[in-house]
Structure 1
Amino acid sequence: MDKTHTLSHTYKTRNALAFTPSRIALLVASVIGSTALEAQETNAPAVEESTQYERVIVTSRKRSESMNDVPISINVVSEDLINNLGASDFTDLLGVVPSLTAYQNGPGRTRLSIRGVANGGGNDNDTQNQETVGIYLDEIPISMGGMNPELALFDLKRVEVLRGPQGTLFGAGSMTGTVRLVSNEPNLTEFEGKYELSASKIEHGSQNSSVKALVNVPIIENELAVRISGYYLDNGGYIDNSLTGEKDLNTGMSKGAKISALYIPTNELSIDFSYLHHDYSDNGRPVDIDSTPLFVRDYPSFDGYDDTMDIANVTLTYDLDWAELVSSTSYFDRSIVNPRSLDLLFESALPPGITPHELVDLTDSEVFVQELRLASTTDSDVQWTIGAYADKKDVFYENTFPVPGADAILGVPSSAFGAPDDHLFYGFDDLTVKTYAFFGEVYYDIGDFSITGGLRYFNWEQEIAFYQSGLFNGEANSDERPKGSVDGFNPKLNVSYHLNRDNLLYAQAAKGFRYGGINGAIPASVCADELAQVERDGGDTRFFDPDEIWNYEVGVKGSDSKGTVSYNATYFHIDWTDMQTSRSFECGFGFKENVGDATSKGVELEVTIKPTDGLVLSAGGAYINTSLDADVPNLDAQKGDAAPFVPEISFTTSAEYSMQLNQDLEGFGWVNVQYTDDRSTEFSEQNSNYRKMDAYTLANMRVGIRFSGYEISLFANNMFDDDGVVRAIGRPPFDPPASIRVTPRTIGMTFRGGF
């Protein structure tokens, strides 16, 4: 049920313009002032006039509302922008959403961050990686530490990026924000379909091609409909292996199918069902070695990736007339095979004659989630949402280092160290996590003021069994780990004021948190001295505690009365305490601990302008400064050091123009520029793994025509073939100096149709 406020109208946003702070202040003041003057000059509320503009409806507070009435910082990536970008997964959206950044280690191995709350990398597969940004597919939480799934962005209504802590409604994984992929629902009244064909060529590499299609069938009009979609993406490669002669080794494939159904048996009850199967695989990470020409590497081990998942959900919605009762039941099953080259380690630590072989990580996870919530739907000045949440996660992770022939060459059987034959290392984590929570938010309108109070009680328990063995472990061990548990409260307070029907000013204080975890056993036989030092310092390598942030922000958002200018401006200040940081030992092992505090502060700006019919100018940017509040010796970092992988300045600008060429033919053009500032891989240059990543700029464009329900377009992504680095690598003796770069210039054609 749509209970959208009538205080403001909304229009379709794209992205926003990067003005200087002084210019944006003048623009905001001008918009607010002119709108207020117009309101004084007429006695009519002009609500009727505003309805001609398209409203952007979001469900960020688990109720349908106009985006301009939600007093938090939200970026909505529309289906049009997704199509213009040719985005194949959410990583492609990083450059167009201010404050959203990532630690990238190849497709499917991305760790998101928002507002600069980031402290570096770590092992992709570590079961103790706790995410700071929650990712949802409709009602289903799918985020997973450093292995966030990258689903194809097809048949989506929009992507909502909620910036700032969302712990009250979305829990611990949304410490700094939430990304929501919102799907199109089955249409109960119309038989319809859509399809898309695309082909392109990567500079320095091979071809891409994709096929996407969907069909919507109303089986019983206004009562039951089914929507079925599918996609197949053949991704080209651009990394060559100079040692083996293999070309374009990082080719990949993504395919999937989704079926969703909507059944409304009575006027009060609706039942939504969805099931998605997704497969992704590639033949190697997009890594090039810095000492060779660009897009070339020279080691033999295979590091391709395989990711299979099944996601299902049943959501029941019952209209009680005074409130809406929602039950959401989700199931998420995922299997990952994630090899990693350790060829440099072979060269430095093993005798000649042993053929290099990759480390192979396997992760199987199964998650059940149940949420029950009740949200008011009356016209009262007091609105509320309350609910209960529970989940159970089982993860089995194997860390294997098979090296054929190693036992014979070394003259020592792997079994002497508790490992399978020809395994220099073998270990596993068997993890069970159970959580439950109760949450609520209350919204109280007092004239033009609105006060929001939120609170979440959470309870988390974790049990884990470890086993580690092999020559590199020095022995077999399965040290018993303590059971992890924590509970507590997560509050939020928000005060907003409607300057007029179209503009909103708000201030918010909210706590964000994430759970702690249990570290794996560190073998005393190979790390005795370093373990002894930790014990002398009073530390504990067995577990780490939750960390938290307090986020304070003020913002203003809205539009002029005609919907020709819209804007969003936010200032935030974040205090981050008890940071979860990783300490690496010289012996090759390490553990997580709570050491260090940091402060992040910055500004997010977004503006959209429609100066004439058919022309949309939009842009957005962020300034973020995240620095340590004190020295952190285990990171070789000092007070004032900037957070890794966070650009201080980033912005995006775009222009789109469409015009009617004749009665049946429409032409359109779109151009976009994205800038990402310098970043580093560590807090401090004193850290031996420190690498600097230079700023880079991407330019994209698309031009085409539309006629009779069809669209044909030509596009160029990274038009000027920038070779910007998104992740620099260098951790001897495990990794040589190397880089993961933006995809080279890609030029192609897209054909879309529908019925």
Structure 2
Amino acid sequence: MTTLARHIRHALYRDGLTPTATMASLLLAGAAALPAQAQQDTAQATNTVFEEVVVTARKRAESMYDVPISINVLSETAIDNMGAKDFSDLLGTVPSLTAYQNGPGRTRLSIRGVANGGGNDNDTQNQETVAIYLDEIPISMGAMNPEISLFDLQRVEVLRGPQGTLYGAGSMTGTIRQVTNKPDLAEFGGKFETSLSTIHKGSVGQSYKGLVNVPVIEDTLAVRASAYYVEEGGYIDNILTGEDDLNEATSKGGRVVARWQASDRLIADLSLLHHEYSDGGRPEDLDHTPELTRDYPSFDGYDDEMDIYNLTLDYDLGWAQLVSSTSYFDRTVVNRRSLDLLLISEFPMVTPHELEDTTDSEAYVQEIRLASTYDSPLQWTVGAYADKKDVFYENTFPVPGADAAMGIDSGDFGAPTDNLYYGYDDLTIKTYALFGEAYYNWDKWTLTAGLRYFNWKQEIEYYQSGLLNGGANSDPRPEGKEDGVNPKVNLSYDLGDNSLVYVQAARGFRYGGINGNIPRSVCADELDDVARSGGDTRFFDPDKLWNYEIGTKGATAGGRLQYNLTYFYIDWEDMQTQRSFECGFGFRENVGKATSEGVEVELTARPIDGLTLTVGGTYVDSQLAEDVPNLDADKGDPAPFVADLSLNGSVEYRRPVGNGLDGFIWANAIYTGDRGTEFSKDQPNYRAMDDYTVANLRLGVQSAQWEVSLFADNLFDSRGVTRALRRPPFDPDAEIRVQPRTLGVTGRVYF
């Protein structure tokens, strides 16, 4: 194998790619056959405006323009330009990607308007509609998706539309893949980055990030290690306690990856990741206090600690690539919430204190798959998946001195001393699946078909107690189970010059679950209403949708214009919807149908050397397809937290400024349209969220060894609302807003 061929293979594996016959094998064969001068001439001849973007959306390395699905790819440079710290910072820049946000670490994602409102962040029965992966590791978790630092990422792939064939139930409407840089077996190198910023009407933030890549044994063993420490400024003041910038936060962590090239055929990657996050309070701005302030005394900070271990083995069989991924995931979250409004109105004799929820999760995940690599019009991927998840959720409402002040004994209600409520969920989930996807090429046509069989079981034990529960109960629940198949079919036509058009039908689904007990002592009337209507508060079933789309993607004008256009229509049945009782409890049920129809547009133009223009946007009409009396909603009511129109655009210009330096300027603007918090404006907790625009700017200079840039996030200091709140007597009217204007400087050194 020539030096060039070896480095091509190393580059593919460094980026986490599995070479295929149509890419790696042909590249390697061609490189090996060319003399050195011919190799150099070929490289220069292929250095056109068009930039080949390689993705692994179908769990094999392919050009993005050969994959007939709607994909948005954010490169490491794009992530750096945005100053994105975690995946939630990407919201608004990716058409169709939206979220229901309760603050950092409490984000529930949605794609293509498939959303139906809120619910308890910590609910162990939250079933995600968008899967999140870190390389081969599924890390999504209902409404508390971990926001790991995006440092040392090679790219982020956002796969829109159901991905259930290859990625399972959590990918009902799409999948986000965070692809890390892998150890380089040949080159020593590294990077250090630091940033200093200040928030308008807020405090100062700073960050330190570094990585190093060390070939321990050249071409055989390498280690790549990265670490980060970030202090984020705050901007919410408590005018009651005098505390300023209470939502300041700290995140820190690191990742170590060892790569062993055991032979020309076998590569082993062992990775360890640790992440910690902690903040001083939710960024909630109360309506009855001045802007960016609040006045309740309880502490509602959030703590998150997580460890992820993974071993990936990649073996080249010659005719197929065999991949095994084994993961262990351990996470502890402490999520606090103020209930001061409830205590002040109902129990004025006690000193307010926050609700404290702790969720301990651990999961074992195994996937093994085989992907064809031989030169044939028929290519396929088959595999098996299994996981086991144990989740223990403790829900406590400790109010120091409550027993004495109220003249009660919490023990009489089955709860610890001074706990107005105490409960837990003890949950075990076991899943296995068999999946396959194949595509066949003839002439310019490609037919793709996929199928996944899944089998899911859940066991849960509930305990609930305390004065607010009306006493203790531990109503047993039988095992929940579900199995079935998830199909997909896709037909595409090659238009030539890296362009294609396709049509697709794919089914998305998510698992059902088991609701906790609702105490009759405090909710009898509402429980009787449900029983009279034939409802059941104990269980909820899986919901499912069919996604139909037609799209085109490609590059024209020698690569100076790249495009991705998609029309989609979604038919969603048996929606899992949270129903809230006035007594303070609630349950999840399957009610109603909805449709979502829309268009996604992404354009990238390079009219002259050094200038890149991008435009993206989504128009989506997501609404109920029938009346839903349980939600006081009617056919045609729009989905909550989904803007009908969202737009984004950016401009980047780079040019040499002398002495080996390049100067650059990057600017973008993100528009988010009107939204509401409920399906119907007639619902008592409905709140409108107006449209808003956020602009960002970054400019600087760079060389091959270093970079310095100045940035302004939210340049015009928008107060756009990302989430509005109302649920008396538990939550006062409040908003979570876009972070105020943030100015800063970033420096990077490469070695």
TM-score bracket, normalised by the shorter chain, equals over 0.9
TM-fit CA distance, 1:700: 0.3
In the other structure, the counterpart of 1:38 is none
Contact conserved, 1:50 with 1:562, CA < 8 A, in 2?
no
Cross-structure match for 2:655: 659
Match of 1:378? 374
Alignment of 1:508-587 (within 5 A): 508-587=504-583
Q: Which runs of 4+ in 1 moved over 3 A?
A: 4-7, 46-54
**Counterpart residue identity of residue 714, structure 1:** L
Q: Is the 8 A contact 1:502 1:561 kept in 2?
A: no
Task: Return the alpha-carbon distance in structure 2 between the equivalents of residues 616 and 169 of structure 1.
Answer: 33
Deviation at 1:50, TM superposition (A): 5.2
**How many residues are paired up?**
717
The gaps in structure 1 that reach 5 residues or longer are: 10-45
**Structure 1 pair 673–665 and aligned structure 2 pair: CA distance change class (3 A):** same
Aligned-pair distance for 1:4? 7.0
Residue 188 of structure 1 corresponds to 185
Structure 1 residue 480 corresponds to structure 2 residue 497: no
> Residue 92 of structure 2 aligns to which amino acid in structure 1?
G
* Shift of residue 190, structure 1, vs aligned partner: 0.7
2:397 alignment partner, SS class: strand
> Cα deviations across residues 597-620 of structure 1 (Å, max 9, x unaligned)?
000000000000000010001110
CA distance in structure 2 between the aligned counterparts of 1:237 and 1:502, rounded to whole angstroms: 46
After the TM superposition, which residues 278-289 of structure 1 pair with which residues of structure 2 at under 5 Å, given as runs? 278-289=275-286
Indicate which of 316, 341, 360 corresponds to 2:338.
Answer: 341
Aligned to 1:204: 201
State how 1:286-685 maps to structure 2 within 5 Å: 286-350=283-347, 352-685=348-681
**Is the Cα–Cα contact under 8 Å of residues 4 and 65 in structure 1 kept in the other structure?**
no
Which has the larger displacement, 244-253 or 532-541?
A: 532-541
- The offset of 1:647, in angstroms, is 0.6
Shift of the alpha carbon at 1:48? Answer: 9.8
Structure 2 residue runs without a partner (length 5+)? 1-17, 27-41
Counterpart position of 2:65: 68
Taking the aligned partners of 1:328 and 1:561, their CA distance within structure 2 comes to 41
Root mean square deviation of aligned Cα: 1.4
Cα deviations across residues 157-201 of structure 1 (Å, max 9, x unaligned)?
000000000000000000000000000000100110101010010
Q: Provide the C-alpha distance between the structure 2 equivalents of 1:5 and 1:49, rounded to a whole number of angstroms.
A: 20
How far apart are the structure 2 equivalents of 1:100 and 1:48? 38
Secondary structure of 2:448's match? strand
- Give SS of 2:630's match: helix
Cα gap change, 1:705 to 1:47, in 2 (>3 Å): closer
Higher RCO (CA 8 Å, separation ≥ 6 residues): 1
Q: Deviations over 1:371-418 (max 9, x none)?
A: 010000011000000000000000000000001111111111001110
Distance 2:521 2:703 in 1: 71
State the shift of 1:528 in Å.
1.1
CA distance in 2, matches of 1:651, 1:685: 25
Residue 35 of structure 1 is matched in structure 2 by none
Q: CA deviation at 1:55?
A: 1.5
Cα shift readout 1:43-96 (whole Å, capped 9, x = no counterpart)? xxx999656443110000000000000000000011111101111111100011
1:12-51 matched pairs, under 5 angstroms: none
Given residue 165 of structure 2, which amino acid in structure 1 is its aligned partner?
A: T
Q: 2:80 aligns with which of 79, 83, 92?
A: 83
**Corresponding position: 1:3 with 2:20:** yes
Q: Deviations over 1:542-592 (max 9, x none)?
A: 110000010000000000151100000000000000000011111111100
Check whether the contact 2:349–2:406 (CA below 8 A) recurs between aligned residues: no
Give per-residue Cα distances to partners, 1:605-655, cap 9 Å, x unaligned.
000000001000111000011000111111111100000000100011000
TM-score, normalised with respect to structure 1: 0.94
TM-score (norm 2): 0.94
Identity fraction in percent: 66
Distance 1:47 1:684, change over 3 A: farther
1:139 aligned onto 2:156: no
Give the match for residue 14 of structure 1: none
Aligned twin of 1:115: 112
Distance, in Å, in 2 between the alignment partners of 1:577 and 1:362 is: 33
Deviation sequence 1:325-363 (CA, Å, 0-9, x none): 11000111000001100000012211x330000000000
* Secondary structure class of the residue paired with 1:661: strand
Q: Structure 2: how far apart are the matches of 1:201 and 1:47?
A: 45
- State the partner residue of 1:24: none
State the distance in 2 between where 1:703 and 1:250 align. Answer: 28
Q: SS state of the match for residue 416, structure 2?
A: coil
User: What CA distance in whole angstroms lies between the structure 2 residues aligned with 1:6 and 1:186?
Assistant: 21
- What is the alpha-carbon distance in structure 2 between the residues aligned to residue 419 and residue 596 of structure 1? 38
State the one-letter code of the partner of 2:638. A
Contact 2:704 2:750 in 1 (8 A): no
**CA offset at residue 5 of structure 1?**
4.5
Indicate conservation of the 8 Å contact 1:464/1:483, yes or no.
yes
For residues 297-348 of structure 1, the C-alpha deviation after alignment (integer angstroms, 9 at most, x for no partner) is 0000000000000011100011110001110001110000011000000122
CA offset at residue 663 of structure 1? 3.5
Letter in 2 for 1:567: Y
Distance (Å, rounded) in 2 between the aligned partners of 1:473 and 1:116: 36
Query: Which AA in structure 2 matches 1:141?
Result: P
For 1:564, the aligned partner's letter is R
Give the distance between the partners of 2:47 and 2:159, measured in 1 at CA: 25
| Distance (whole Å) between structure 2 residues aligned to residue 205 and residue 54 of structure 1 | 41
What residue identity is the alignment partner of 1:132? T
Give the aligned residue type for 2:699.
Answer: V
Distance in 1, matches of 2:266 and 2:703, equals: 39
Question: Is the Cα–Cα contact under 8 Å of residues 247 and 282 in structure 2 kept in the other structure?
Answer: yes
Task: Report the more deviating stretch, 156-165 or 630-639.
Answer: 630-639
Residues 51 and 69 of structure 1: is their aligned pair in 2 closer, same or farther, counting only changes over 3 Å? farther
